[in-house]
Structure 1
Amino acid sequence: MSYVLAGDVGGTKTVLCLYQVADDNSVGGSMEEIYKAVYPSAGHERFSDLITAFLAEVTQRPERACFGIAGPIQDQCCTATNLPWVIDARQLAEEFGFADVYLLNDLEATAHGMLHLSADEFVELNPQAMPQAGHAAVIAAGTGLGQAIMAWDGQRHIVMPTEGGHCDFGPNTRQEDALLLFLRERFGGHVSGERILAGDGFGNLYDFLRTSGFAAPNPAIEAEMANEDRNAVISHHGLAGDDPLCTEAMRLFVRIYGSEAGNLALKCLPRGGIYIGGGIGPKIRAALESGVFMQGFLDKGRMARAIEHVPVRLSLNPEAPLLGAAHMALLRSQG
Structure 2
Amino acid sequence: MVRILAGDVGGTKTVLALYQSDQGELTEIRKETYPSGRHTRFEDLLLEFLGSDSLIDAATFGIAGPIKSQRCITTNLPWIIDAAEIADELNIPQVHLLNDLEAAAYGILRLDHFHELNPDAHEEAGHIAVIAAGTGLGEAILFYDGRDYHAMPTEGGHCEFAPQDALEDQLLVFLRQRFNGHVSLERILAGDGFGNLYDFLKSINFAEANAELEAQMQQTDRNAVISRAGLQQEDVLCSEVMRLFCRIYGAEAGNLALKCLPRNGVYIAGGIAPKIRPALESGGFLEGFLDKGRMTHAIEHIPLRIVDNPEAPLLGAAHYASKQLAIK
* TM-score between the two structures when normalised by the length of structure 2: 0.97
Q: Report the more deviating stretch, 136-145 or 42-51.
A: 42-51
Q: SS where residue 101 of structure 1 aligns?
A: strand
| Ranges of 4+ aligned residues in structure 1 off by more than 3 Å | none
**Residue 183 in structure 1 maps to residue 175 in structure 2:** yes
CA distance in 2, matches of 1:229, 1:12: 13
Q: Give the unaligned 5+ runs of structure 1.
A: 24-28
Q: SS where residue 146 of structure 2 aligns?
A: coil
How far does residue 213 in structure 1 lie from its aligned partner after superposition? 1.5
CA distance in 1, matches of 2:132, 2:160: 16
Deviations 1:82-117 (A, max 9, x none): 333222111221222222110011111111111111
Deviations 1:190-228 (A, max 9, x none): 211111101111111111111111111111111111111
Given candidates 95, 99, 102, the residue that maps to 1:101 is 95
CA distance in 2, matches of 1:83, 1:107: 17
CA distance in 1, matches of 2:78, 2:161: 30
How far does residue 181 in structure 1 lie from its aligned partner after superposition? 1.4
How far does residue 12 in structure 1 lie from its aligned partner after superposition? 2.5
Given candidates 217, 238, 253, the residue that maps to 2:245 is 253
Q: SS where residue 293 of structure 1 aligns?
A: helix
8 Å CA contact 2:12, 2:135 repeated in 1: no
Q: Which amino acid aligns with 1:14?
A: T
* Corresponding residue of 1:89: 83
* Corresponding residue of 1:26: none
**Residue 35 in structure 1 maps to residue 30 in structure 2:** yes
Q: SS where residue 286 of structure 2 aligns?
A: helix
Q: SS where residue 227 of structure 2 aligns?
A: helix
How far does residue 188 in structure 1 lie from its aligned partner after superposition? 1.7
Deviations 1:283-312 (A, max 9, x none): 000000111110000001111010000011
Given candidates 64, 69, 87, the residue that maps to 1:75 is 69
CA distance in 2, matches of 1:4, 1:211: 51
**Residue 320 in structure 1 maps to residue 325 in structure 2:** no
Q: Which amino acid aligns with 2:48?
A: A
CA distance in 2, matches of 1:197, 1:41: 21
Trace 1:1-335 onto structure 2 (pairs within 5 A): 1-23=1-23, 29-56=24-51, 58=53, 61-118=55-112, 120=113, 122-335=114-327
Q: Report the more deviating stretch, 171-180 or 41-50.
A: 41-50
Deviations 1:4-54 (A, max 9, x none): 11011123222110111123xxxxx31111100112222413211122122
Q: Which amino acid aligns with 1:237?
A: A
8 Å CA contact 1:55, 1:61 repeated in 2: no
* TM-score between the two structures when normalised by the length of structure 1: 0.95
How far does residue 154 in structure 1 lie from its aligned partner after superposition? 0.8
8 Å CA contact 2:10, 2:135 repeated in 1: no
CA distance in 2, matches of 1:43, 1:53: 11
Q: Report the more deviating stretch, 228-237 or 49-58.
A: 49-58
8 Å CA contact 1:108, 1:148 repeated in 2: yes
8 Å CA contact 1:134, 1:154 repeated in 2: yes
8 Å CA contact 2:207, 2:237 repeated in 1: yes
| CA shift in 2, pair 1:45/1:221, >3 Å | closer
Q: SS where residue 334 of structure 1 aligns?
A: helix
Give the fraction of aligned pairs with identical amino acids, expressed as a percent.
63
Q: SS where residue 68 of structure 1 aligns?
A: strand
- Aligned pairs, how many? 327
CA distance in 2, matches of 1:62, 1:133: 36
CA distance in 1, matches of 2:101, 2:27: 23
Q: Which amino acid aligns with 1:2?
A: V
8 Å CA contact 1:142, 1:280 repeated in 2: yes
How far does residue 147 in structure 1 lie from its aligned partner after superposition? 0.6
Q: Give the unaligned 5+ runs of structure 2.
A: none
